[in-house]
Structure 1
């Protein structure tokens, strides 16, 4: 039944054979054996193409349901054994996902080969239940009290600009000097209009910034900053390579951008599968206070 569905989905015995590690002849024998068992033809085959019979159409839909139920039953058995398996749907903000999570994720995937990882990146706040997600990384203050949250190491940010932008511009000594400069706005947070700093004397200040250019992705902000279009405030993971190469310069020495909270969240009131538990343990080790 699995061979038959795969042959239909991929359009040929050869493609199904490659996917299943069989020969094309072996795939044909499986389908013929199934047809013999059912006493009805499933496929009409010519030298160039194959098509489903009317019975084949009806049988295909029922076969998909049976195989899905079988997969669920096997996953249940794996859960009872405590082996992480099944599909794990993860969401993260774009910059964190690209520059922090993605480089570490293969480590988790190699350790848990029976888990099928599905990663989506978005800067908007996603609804885990509505979008069928198992777990998400959240940067900033948590607003949804219905989620179970695990605190990770705080998210570090920095204020930078390209040397080409700074040449001939008014000097920057305090955050209030930003009013004389072009700041690149991040469209998905209050960083669009206000930037906060902790001063050398311990004082916390928030200053208004002017954002003539606005972007909803950290990578776009980085490219604009490298092109000398303004000052950028973004996560250190995104900025670190350009800072190390001297293509960006960190500004306002003596003033520190406050870290932002970073949490791993999942929906409450449901069973934590071995796959979810294994990923929570991985994330805490990789991005917790000791691992970050």
Structure 2
């Protein structure tokens, strides 16, 4: 038999529908092939039954059904010995190829989960967090795990793990999807800030009501919605949508405008913490900083997790936390 052939090509069920042929082949021959392979390997029906955990009579019935289906005698049986016929030897050789491939496939799956991390990882992240935090860490990760390849996709839209075949996703905000595992990396700070030049010219708002008298810069998110500004007032979360003369759909442009003294905006802590440390930006309304959100690393299940995913989650959790991206040490 050619190596590209399969044992199914030798079956003749006699049904006109080829789909039915295939279904019947699997349904009627699976148990028979398993029993046949066990008998051929063990050399007896009794030992095959012990190996399979079934009775000798059940092994005999399954082999007999297979012989009937094939219209071929596979074994020469006496009261003391069991031998393969010539046809049985040929059938065993062909079936053994398939069994070998199945065993190899199972071992490969076990190695993916328990062996050295390897293979392709498809990662999704919001654009800003991906550029600023995730991407710079990938070089170190790939040095530590040279057999893993990375496909990073930056998108501010919600991730569909199944349709997009995503292994790991970074998400910002609140996680309300109970179908995924979400591990918080760091709290998500939304910091109201302005440049020293703006502060010198216009001052800073002392209360939320003062925001109406300031130049505000808005961010438009995918879908066209203006991103709310979040604040915590008297222990309760509240939203504010300022009237803005300037709106962008890119957070880097918002940051650039704030640094240029055009106005003030609420931006992620990871995006501005370096500018705050260099005194290029000033925080405003610090006491109202929201604390109900986070930056998360997400995946579908803890069960049967491939080692490449486990390695990536552990690595990124450790390294992101080491970056010390928080602007405020106590929220």
TM-score, reference length from structure 2: 0.58
Post-superposition Cα deviations, 1:229-267, rounded to whole Å, max 9, x if no partner, equal 221211122112222333222122443233522221123
**Is residue 264 of structure 2 the alignment partner of residue 231 of structure 1?**
yes
Structure 1 unmatched ranges of 5 or more = 1-68
After superposition, residues 66-105 of structure 1 pair within 5 angstroms as 76=109, 78-79=111-112, 82-105=115-138
Call closer, same or farther: CA 1:236–1:259 in 2, change over 3 Å. farther
Aligned residues: 221
Call closer, same or farther: CA 1:254–1:76 in 2, change over 3 Å. closer
Residue aligned with 2:142, SS? helix
Q: Equivalents in 1 of 2:111, 2:295: separation in Å? A: 31
Q: 2:163 is matched with which residue?
A: 130
Q: Equivalents in 2 of 1:290, 1:167: separation in Å? A: 31
Q: Equivalents in 2 of 1:126, 1:228: separation in Å? A: 35
**Is residue 251 of structure 2 the alignment partner of residue 197 of structure 1?**
no
State the 1:171 CA deviation: 4.4
Call closer, same or farther: CA 1:260–1:77 in 2, change over 3 Å. closer
Check conservation: 1:151, 1:288, Cα contact below 8 A.
Answer: no
TM-score, reference length from structure 1: 0.65
Check conservation: 1:152, 1:289, Cα contact below 8 A.
Answer: no
Residue aligned with 1:168, SS? helix
Residue aligned with 1:277, SS? helix
Q: 1:57 is matched with which residue?
A: none
Q: Equivalents in 2 of 1:85, 1:137: separation in Å? A: 21
State the 1:288 CA deviation: 5.3
After superposition, residues 113-128 of structure 1 pair within 5 angstroms as 113-128=146-161
State the 1:205 CA deviation: 4.3
Structure 2 unmatched ranges of 5 or more = 1-100, 326-331
Q: Which of 113, 116, 141 in structure 2 is aligned with 1:108?
A: 141
Post-superposition Cα deviations, 1:65-90, rounded to whole Å, max 9, x if no partner, equal xxxx9xx9696474265111011011
Q: Equivalents in 1 of 2:165, 2:127: separation in Å? A: 19
Call closer, same or farther: CA 1:224–1:171 in 2, change over 3 Å. closer
Range that drifts further, 176-185 or 73-82: 73-82
Q: Equivalents in 2 of 1:151, 1:245: separation in Å? A: 27
Post-superposition Cα deviations, 1:26-66, rounded to whole Å, max 9, x if no partner, equal xxxxxxxxxxxxxxxxxxxxxxxxxxxxxxxxxxxxxxxxx
Larger Rg: 1 or 2? Answer: 2
**Is residue 319 of structure 2 the alignment partner of residue 286 of structure 1?**
yes
